[in-house]
Amino acid sequence: MTRLVVIGSGAMGLAAAWEAAHAGHDVTLLEAGNVAGGMAAHFDFDGLSIERFYHFICTTDFATFKLLGELGIADSLRWRATTMGHFSGGRLHEWGNPVALLRYPGMSLWARLRYGVLAFVSTRRDRWDALETQSAREWITRWGGTEVYDKMWKPLFDLKFYDYADPISAAWIWTRVKRIGRSRKSLFEEKLGYLEGGSETLVTALADGFAKAGGKLRLSTPALRVETEGGRVTGVVTPEGTIAADAVISTMPTPLVAKLVPDLPEDWKARYDAIANIGVCCLIFKLGRSVTPHFWVNITEPGVPVPGIIEFSNLRPVGGNTPGGDTIVYVPYYMPVTHEKFGWSDDALLDEAFAAIRRVNPAVTQADVLGRRVARLRHAQPICEPGFAAKIPPVETPIAGLQIADTCFYYPEDRGISESVRLGREMAAKLGRA
How far apart CA 165 and CA 170 sit, in angstroms, is: 12
Rounded to a whole number of angstroms, the CA Rg of the chain reads: 22
pLDDT tens-place values along the chain, 434 residues long: 899 999 999 999 999 999 999 999 999 999 999 999 999 999 999 989 999 999 999 999 999 999 999 999 999 999 999 999 999 999 999 998 889 999 999 999 999 999 888 888 788 777 888 889 999 999 999 989 999 999 999 999 999 888 888 889 999 989 888 888 777 777 678 899 999 999 999 999 999 999 999 999 999 999 999 999 999 999 999 999 999 999 999 999 999 999 999 999 999 999 999 999 999 999 999 999 999 999 999 999 999 999 999 999 999 998 644 444 589 999 999 999 999 999 999 999 999 999 999 999 999 999 999 999 999 999 999 999 999 999 999 999 999 999 999 999 999 998 899 999 999 999 999 998 87
Strand order in the sheet with 184-186: 77-82, 189-195, 184-186
Element at 277 (helix H, strand E): strand 277-287
Backbone dihedral region of 208: left (phi > 0), alpha (psi from -120 to 50 degrees) or beta? alpha
Domain 95-188 belongs in CATH node 1.10.405: yes
Same fold, 3-55+198-275+387-429 and 277-382: no
Report the DSSP pairing between strands 369-382 and 277-287: antiparallel
3-state DSSP percent of the chain in helix, strand and coil, to 5: 40, 25, 35
How far apart CA 185 and CA 189 sit, in angstroms, is: 5
Angle subtended at Cα 62 by Cα 30 and Cα 385, rounded to the nearest 5 degrees? 70
Question: Domain residues of the chain, as ranges?
Answer: 3-55+198-275+387-429, 95-188, 277-382
Give residues with Cβ within 8 angstroms of 214, minimum separation 6: 21, 26, 27
Length of the chain measured in residues? 434
pLDDT at residue 65, as a whole number: 97
How far apart CA 122 and CA 134 sit, in angstroms, is: 15
Residue 292 near residue 92, CB atoms below 8 Å: yes
Angle subtended at Cα 17 by Cα 228 and Cα 203, rounded to the nearest 5 degrees? 140
Question: What angle in degrees, to the nearest 10, is found between the helix axes of 136-144 and 170-182?
Answer: 60
Residue 215 near residue 26, CB atoms below 8 Å: no
DSSP assignment, residue 394? P
DSSP assignment, residue 412? T
- The pTM of the whole model exceeds 0.75: yes
Q: What is the CATH number of domain 3-55+198-275+387-429?
A: 3.50.50.60
Report the DSSP pairing between strands 3-7 and 247-250: parallel
pLDDT at residue 325, as a whole number: 58
How far apart CA 253 and CA 380 sit, in angstroms, is: 8
* CATH of range 277-382; options 3.90.660.20, 3.90.320.10, 1.10.274.30, 3.30.420.40: 3.90.660.20
How far apart CA 362 and CA 102 sit, in angstroms, is: 26
Give 231-238's long-range contacts (Cβ < 8 A, gap of 24+): 231/398, 231/399, 231/400, 232/399, 232/400, 232/401, 233/399, 233/400, 233/401, 233/402, 235/5, 236/5, 236/7, 236/30, 238/30
